[in-house]
Amino acid sequence: MSQVQARFFTENTKYLIDDVPFSIPAASEVVDLSGVINKLLEAKNDGHKHVEFDFLVRGQFLRTSLANHMETENISTEEVVEIEYVEKFTAPQPEECIMHDDWISSVEADSEWILTGSFDKTARIWSMEGKAVMTVAGHTDVNLFNGLSSLLLTASLDQTIMLWEWNSERNKVKARHCCRGHAGSVDTVAVDPTRTKFCSGSWDKMLKIWSAVPTEEEDEIEEPNRPRKKQKTEQMGLTRTPLMTFSGHNEAVSSVLWMDAEELCSASWDHTIRLWDAETGGQKNTITGSKVFSCISYSPLCRRLASGSTDRHVRLWDPRSKDGYLVLLSLTSHNGWVTAVRWSPSHEHQLVSGSLDNVVKLWDTRSCKAPLYDLAAHEDKVMCVDWTENGLILSGGADNKLYTYRYSACVSDAGA
Amino acid sequence: HSSKRSLTKIYAYGHDQDQRKFWLALILTSVTLQDIRNTVGNIPMEWYKDYPHIGYDLDGKKIFKPIRNKDELDEFLDKMENPDYWRTVQDKMTGADIRLSDEQVDLVHRLQEGKFGDVNFNEYEPAIDFFSNEVMIHPVTNRPQDKRSFIPSLIEKEKVGKLVHAIKMGWIKPRRPKETTPQYYDLWAKEDPNSILGRHKMHVPAPKLKLPGHEESYNPPPEYLMSEEERLAWEQQDPEDRKLSFLPQKFACLRAVPAYSRFIHERFERCLDLYLCPRQRKMRVNVNPEDLIPKLPKPKDLQPFPTTQSLVYRGHSSLVRSISTSPSGQWLVSGSDDCTVRFWEVSTARCLKTVEVGGAVKGVAWNPNPSICLVAISYDDTVVLLNPGLGDRLVSTATDQLISSYEEPEEVKEQPVQWTVAEGEGHEQGHRLILKHPKAVRQVTWHGKGDYLACVMPDNGSSLQVVIHQVSKRRTQNPFRKNKGLVQCVSFHPIRPYFFVATQRYVRVYNLIKQELTKKLMANCKWISSMATHPGGDNVICGSYDCRLAWFDLDLSTKPYKVLRHHKKALRSVAYHRHYPLFASGSDDGSVIVCHGMVYNDLLQNPLIVPVKVLKGHTITHDLGVLDVTFHPTQPWVFSSGADGTVRLFT
């Protein structure tokens, strides 16, 4: 087998070539194929510049020689092989390294600001250029962070969630509400797509839904030491109680997210991922794994859940499937617990994962054997990752550093 | 004429060509030389080859051979010139040449053509056929028929009468009908095929004689010859025990070998062997040695159990003697020789709190009751109850309230331990109660309910080795009046009011309510180092300094149900998992061995113990490896603390 019949196609109209089968050497690798495509394009239009391509055979990235790949994938060499080519994703470029005073426990970014929570009991707001804009101190313990434009949420080991209002022009932060009700450290918060509610998950096995709209009223709660609380409200904002409490997990809730306005998804230490109806509080589906889930992420683009657990695998699940044990795909390359996963907001195949082995990995689900890129900047455990719409990957870790990477490939790919 | 006749006859006999020639020669002899007939008879004539005569005539005179002086040339000339040469033959009897007459030549020709010698003889003369198939009116013979051919035979009548009489009398029976079954049959048809096979299989050949070896040679190699001592030893041996039944001897030549004196004896023994040989096949049991090993399930099937090192909790600067997890599994406490106690978050390996105490920490124990947030820490002669303030705030404040709400009883008893409430800086750090003991405390352990706390103060000379504190009433009692050996560690029964006390070689089980000794377990080891109780309460494991781990089934016996010797060095710590069927042991060789230890509810089924994993990670420092192991309360994870100042989590 020295020659293989192949037909190349692409969805990117910029790089269209004639739809005729070519006979190419079976031993050719990505670089060779890329050269072939480039030559064809040069012949077609004069002003063509050299572009590196990546190749997909039956939805799987070509990583070895074509012959090898077809043998492992069980593709017949008799027929014409359909090969899709896409522009090669360029490596993420490191941009900033933002130093913190302590371990970074969470990171959240939008197109303008970066919010980080740290183990030094503060939350910080940074500009995209890495300038410290604001330090939000108020918690007595480690912070988690979640933002909704001018309203910020911090959840802490001290069992409370604080709702802050931040005026970016005057650069002032005011605590509006202190959400009390959890009986354990609050490990995760998530704001619903309508931005009127948020959900929190805690070590006390509960999920609670709170209102995210700041008001001037204080919710009444029965607390034994009333005077102490009264005294605190001045600095800590008004106390708020949960709208709803979901119980069902047998262990701590490690991660929670909204799949849409009505549906919640939570991952727990009891080896399950549960889907909840946010209106009624009923359980809709349970995905049972074999290890503690430490983080989950949902992509509305491909409708898949990605989970990181206390082993080295990133697993993909179909939240709609009734068979709750089926792992769609296992991405294995990390050497430690996967502490954070995040789907790309713009690309349906890409996700990023952080692990205790100090490495952040960028994955494409079409190449499940090896990640696209390893981002090995951290010197200690990676605790959190995030991915913004404008192609910025952020990762924070136990080395007190927040790294940002510019990742531009998704812009040119698929016309996004 | 007569000779012609005989010739014809002769011809009729001999059809063979050679025979014919022979007879012809004979006839010619008799015909032509009537007068000089030779009397030598029918003898080979070459007998007279060397004589001048050729025989004797009727008168007894020699017949001399005719003078033959013809040479080849004469012969040839004769052949050319003599017109009768072709019909001239030599008579062998006389040696004379005879010229055959015309009749004779004709006769020879006829014979050669295969015809009768007689010209007039017709072999196909017409013949009259008397005995033909045609019936003639006249008989061939004219003899009249005999009379007896008309009269019935009397003898026959007599014979028939006799037979008829015999039949009538029943002497002759009618012939029996012939049996239809075939006379032959399948000899082996009814035989059990197995027996045939068996017969062939079970054939035992006569035992073979041993082939003679070099030692039996008349001139054996010197190494086969016995030395003097060997010979003496051979002679002193019982004949049955001897390896050789004879003494190898050396002779100068085969001629010098004497007759073998034991020949008859040996033949006899051989015959006896053949005769008395038990002709029975010994049924050798073919057992695969691997089948004898008890079938253990594969470790792969016994998951989950910890397999890899996941997190390392770094921060201590000296050996970490003791670790303990919070009942929720979120926190871990470790006590070290660097005089600090550290609190860690399990999932991130973050040190959340460091509390300094006044001495090297020997033991830490987190209160197992989830509604009380207290950690017991022992250093030197002090036990501190510390509220770390981790976990639920309400629980933490409730614990503080519980301790502060204590009211002094009216009559104060004399107690062996001094209780004081921590104040000032100590209180800020979380210290709540300080218990001053008379001696150094080695181990602290909580009762499952979280109110009682047992402390061990090993001391061989005193009876005050174990004290049990009640935290809510701040009371201390000494449960044992007598000293029964150096106490190593103690443990509460998880369900029933039993108390386990491990001394150097025994584990004693006391009933705390009846205040009596229930059982005494013999560990079969030299020095017990650690002990753990199964959450079901019926099984206990003991680690010892002589590398053994003994599993006791309290229902079974006071001896260990199983002793595991997997570690290469002294065991320092053993632990059971609260939910999973797992137990672990840490040793000075730096490894933690995790075993699957399934205890069945069925009393008839013994516990299943399978070693599943050796976990290595700790570096050996000062000849010490792992000092303490403990399981995560909910997950199949094991923590180990080592002399290298780290705590490691294996998942």
What is the per-residue pLDDT across B422-434, written as a single tens digit (0 to 9) for each? Answer: 777 777 778 888 8
Between CA A316 and CA A339 the distance in angstroms is: 15
Contact A134, A152 (CB under 8 A): no
Q: What percent of chain B has pLDDT over 90?
A: 8
Contacts of A290 in chain B (CB under 8 A): 303-304
What does the mean pLDDT of chain B come to? 83
Chain B CB within 8 Å of residue A185 CB: yes
Q: What pLDDT score does B25 carry? A: 59
Q: What pLDDT score does B3 carry? A: 47
Quote the tokens at residue B50.
Answer: 């060397």
Contact B387, B343 (CB under 8 A): no
Q: Categorise residue A193: left if φ over 0, alpha if ψ from -120 to 50, beta otherwise.
A: alpha
Contact B540, B531 (CB under 8 A): yes
Contacts of B350 in chain A (CB under 8 A): 103, 119, 142, 398
Contact A107, A115 (CB under 8 A): yes
Q: Which stretches of chain B sit within 8 Å of chain A by CB?
A: 303-304, 310-311, 328-330, 347-350, 391-394, 397, 634-635, 651
Mapped onto helix, strand or coil, the DSSP state of residue B106 is helix
DSSP E strands in B164-268: the ranges are: none
Quote the tokens at residue B468.
Answer: 């049990």
> Given the DSSP bridges, would you call strands B506-511 and B498-502 parallel, antiparallel or unpaired?
antiparallel
- Residue whose tokens read 């008397």: B130
Is residue A4's pLDDT more than 60?
yes
For residue B625, the distance in angstroms to the closest alpha carbon of chain A comes to 24
Query: How does pLDDT run across B292-312, given as a tens digit for each residue?
Result: 877 788 888 888 888 888 888
The two counts, helices (H) then strands (E), for chain B are 11, 33
> Given the DSSP bridges, would you call strands A272-277 and A283-288 parallel, antiparallel or unpaired?
antiparallel
For residue B346, the distance in angstroms to the closest alpha carbon of chain A comes to 12
Predicted structure pTM score: 0.68
Q: Which of A159, A290, A337 sits opposite B393 (nearest CB)?
A: A159
Max mean pLDDT among A144-153, B139-148, B571-580 falls in B571-580
Q: What pLDDT score does A149 carry? A: 59
Residues whose CB is less than 8 angstroms from the CB of residue B90 and which lie 6 or more positions away in sequence, other chains included? B96, B97, B98
Quote the tokens at residue A291.
Answer: 């290890």
Q: What pLDDT score does B71 carry? A: 83
The CB density around residue B597, as the number of other CB atoms within 10 Å, is 24
CB contact under 8 A, B391 and A158: no
Average pLDDT over residues A75-97: 78
Q: What pLDDT score does B24 carry? A: 59
Query: How does pLDDT run across A356-393, given as a tens digit for each residue?
Result: 888 888 888 887 778 888 888 888 888 888 888 877 88
The CB density around residue B327, as the number of other CB atoms within 10 Å, is 19
First to last CA, chain B: 141
Between CA A109 and CA A111 the distance in angstroms is: 7
Q: What pLDDT score does A409 carry? A: 54
> Given the DSSP bridges, would you call strands A22-25 and A3-9 parallel, antiparallel or unpaired?
antiparallel
Q: Which of B303, B394, B651 sits opposite A310 (nearest CB)?
A: B651
**B530 pairs with which residues across the strands?**
B543
Between CA B334 and CA B340 the distance in angstroms is: 8
CB contact under 8 A, A337 and B392: no
Between CA B476 and CA B415 the distance in angstroms is: 6
Phi–psi pair at B344, nearest 5 degrees? -120, 150
Residue type, B170: G
Residue A361 to residues A96, A297, A330, A333, B310: CA-CA distances in angstroms?
18, 15, 14, 9, 18
Is residue B109's pLDDT more than 60?
yes
Choose the weakest-confidence range: A129-138, A304-313, B359-368: A129-138
Q: What pLDDT score does A227 carry? A: 45
Residues whose CB is less than 8 angstroms from the CB of residue A116 and which lie 6 or more positions away in sequence, other chains included? A98, A100, A104, A106, A107, A108, A123, A124, A126, A145, A396, A402
- Specify the DSSP element, H or E, that contains A180: none
For residue A313, the distance in angstroms to the closest alpha carbon of chain B comes to 13
Q: What pLDDT score does A230 carry? A: 45
Contact B442, B457 (CB under 8 A): yes
Average pLDDT over residues B39-50: 85
Phi–psi pair at B176, nearest 5 degrees? -70, 145
Quote the tokens at residue A124.
Answer: 């910080």
Q: Which of B304, B329, B330 sits opposite A290 (nearest CB)?
A: B304
Q: Which of A204, A269, A336 sits opposite B310 (nearest CB)?
A: A336
Contact A341, A353 (CB under 8 A): yes
Residue B529 to residues B370, B406, B486, B618: CA-CA distances in angstroms?
29, 36, 11, 20
What does the mean pLDDT of chain A come to? 78
Residue type, B49: K
For residue B602, the distance in angstroms to the closest alpha carbon of chain A comes to 28
- In the DSSP assignment, the letter for residue B215 is G
Residues whose CB is less than 8 angstroms from the CB of residue B187 and which lie 6 or more positions away in sequence, other chains included? none
Contact A377, A347 (CB under 8 A): no
Between CA A60 and CA A57 the distance in angstroms is: 5
Is residue B476's pLDDT more than 50?
yes
Contacts of A143 in chain B (CB under 8 A): none
Average pLDDT over residues A113-117: 81
Residue type, B324: S
Mapped onto helix, strand or coil, the DSSP state of residue B225 is coil
Contacts of B330 in chain A (CB under 8 A): 184-185, 203, 252
> Which chain A residues in 29-88 lie under 8 Å from chain B, judged by CB atoms?
none
Backbone Cα Rg of chain B:
65
The CB density around residue B400, as the number of other CB atoms within 10 Å, is 17
> Given the DSSP bridges, would you call strands A172-179 and A238-240 parallel, antiparallel or unpaired?
parallel
- Residue whose tokens read 């047998």: A250
Between CA B39 and CA A233 the distance in angstroms is: 178
Contacts of B304 in chain A (CB under 8 A): 290
Query: How does pLDDT run across B534-558, given as a tens digit for each residue?
Result: 888 888 899 988 888 888 888 888 8
Mapped onto helix, strand or coil, the DSSP state of residue B31 is helix
Is residue B399's pLDDT more than 60?
yes
Q: What percent of chain A has pLDDT over 70?
A: 88
